[in-house]
Structure 1
Amino acid sequence: MAKELRIKLKIKDKEKTFVQDFVPAQKVIDTLEFWKKIETDETDVIDNILGKIELAASYFDDDDVSSESILSGMQAWELQQKIDELISVVMGSEIDPKEQENQ
């Protein structure tokens, strides 16, 4: 089964699902560089979360998926799990896209 990324965001009072079926391999390097940075720099929890959100947003080609739209369009209690899930898929985890859709 082909992998894809999915994220549901509330945009202008309407829920919209964004699907990304191609993520360039460069995003693996970008992700590894991000992890290296947070391991070597003294960053706080807020910077780590904001960095992960920015990284996850960069996986999508649609300009409507941004750090700002994720922060304003996603339920607070879903944020960290969803962002971690997107990063895991890009890094090669086997997560069924249908499972993503239900979250």
Structure 2
Amino acid sequence: MTKLRLELKKKNGDVVVYEQDKVPASRVLDFWNIQEKLEAGDTSYTPKNYLLDRIDYCASLFSAKSVTREAILEGLNAWELEETIDDIILTAVGVKKEVDPKLMELVQQKPESVS
């Protein structure tokens, strides 16, 4: 079953894992509203605004109230931010799905030799 997953590091070094297994399909439209703002060509909508909107969108997908823009910005390393946000968005809109471990096991098994 596909789930959203977010790991944030607290200031004391503890890692908190948030998972969300239900996201209403209507939330896909919310993401496309962000994309439309970007594609509208308004020069006042900067790359920074786009990033912050994507972070806010990701935070809003989790039912835990402690998942906020600030929590994400403080809880991720700089080099993890874009990839983490993209993974959450792609999973939420149905583009990226978890691979079933049982299926992976079958795929990785060597076929029996045919004589």
Question: Which deviates more, 86-95 or 20-29?
Answer: 86-95
Q: Per-residue CA shift, 1:36-82, capped at 9, x if unaligned? A: 11211321111111111001111100011110100011111000011
**1 or 2 for the larger relative contact order (CA 8 Å, sep ≥6)?**
1
Contact 2:87/2:96 (<8 A) preserved: no
Partner of 1:58: 60
TM-score (norm 2): 0.78
Runs of 4+ in 1 over 6 A off after TM superposition: none
User: 1:39 matched to which residue of 2?
Assistant: 39
Q: Is the 8 A contact 1:6 1:97 kept in 2?
A: no
- After TM superposition, the structure 1 = structure 2 runs for residues 1-103 of structure 1, keeping only pairs within 5 Å, are 2-13=1-12, 14-40=14-40, 41-42=42-43, 43-96=45-98
Percent identity over paired residues: 34
Q: Quote how far apart the aligned CAs of 1:26 are.
A: 1.7
Q: Tell me how many residue pairs correspond in the alignment.
A: 97
* TM-aligned CA deviation for residue 12 of structure 1: 4.4
TM-score between both structures, scaled by the size of structure 1? 0.86
Unaligned runs of 5+ in 1: 99-103
Aligned counterparts of 2:79 and 2:72: Cα–Cα separation in 1? 13
- Contact conserved, 1:5 with 1:97, CA < 8 A, in 2? no
- Any unmatched runs of 5+ in structure 2? 101-115
Q: CA RMSD in A?
A: 1.6
Q: Distance in 2 between matches of 1:77 and 1:38?
A: 23
